[in-house]
Amino acid sequence: MTACGGDGAENSLPLTNRVWLTHVPKKVDDSVGALVVFEAKGRRQFGALYKGSMLRGSFELFEWQPDGQEGRAHMRLLQDDKSVKIRTESCEPDAGLDACIMLHGDPLGAVRYQSKRIWGLRGRPAISSPLELDIAGDVRALLAADPELAALVGEAP
C-alpha cells in the first residue's frame, strides 16, 4: 500500500503525502472527490476525504491504519468514530495522469482516484494530530504547482 500506479513499478507513486482526485475538473464548479493520506509521527496516519468543487464542498477527516496485508487498511472516521475496512488496488490512469488507485470501501462513495507526480505534497513535516491538517493550503499549493489546474482559478467568478 505504499505505492500504486498504472502499468508498472516505474509509474508507482506513494499513497501518502499526495493529492488523489476522482478526475481532473474542467471548470471551477465541477464536482470532484479527493483523497489525501498524510504521513504522521509514530504509527498513526491521518487524512481527509473531500467531495465538491473548487468553490464549495465538504470533507471528512480520518485516521488511516494499514492492516499489515498489502492493499488493506482501516479508515476511522473521526467525527463519528466509525471504522471502515478499505481495500486498495492499482488501476490504469487516464491520459495525462501518472497513477490510479481503486479504493474499495470509501465512505463517500468514490472508488477510483488518480494523481500526477507533481501533486505530491513535498517538504511537508509529519503531523501528530488531524487538527494539524491544512487541506485548503494543500489545495492552493497543488493549484500553484499544476498549470492545468491553475488555469481554472483564472476562470473563477
**Residue 27 exposed, middle or buried by CB count within 10 Å (0-12, 13-18, 19+):** exposed
- Domain of 75, in residue numbers: 3-153
DSSP 27-96: STT--EEEEEEE-BSTT-EEEEEEEE-SSSEEEEEEEEEE-SSTTEEEEEETTTTEEEEEEEEE-PPPTT
Confidence of residue 78 (pLDDT cuts 50, 70, 90): very high
pLDDT at 9: 45
pLDDT at 8: 44
| Domain tally, the chain | 1
> Are the C-beta atoms of 124 and 106 separated by less than 8 Å?
no
- Whether pTM > 0.85 for this model: the answer is no
pLDDT tens-digit map of 95-129: 999 999 999 998 888 789 999 998 887 665 566 66
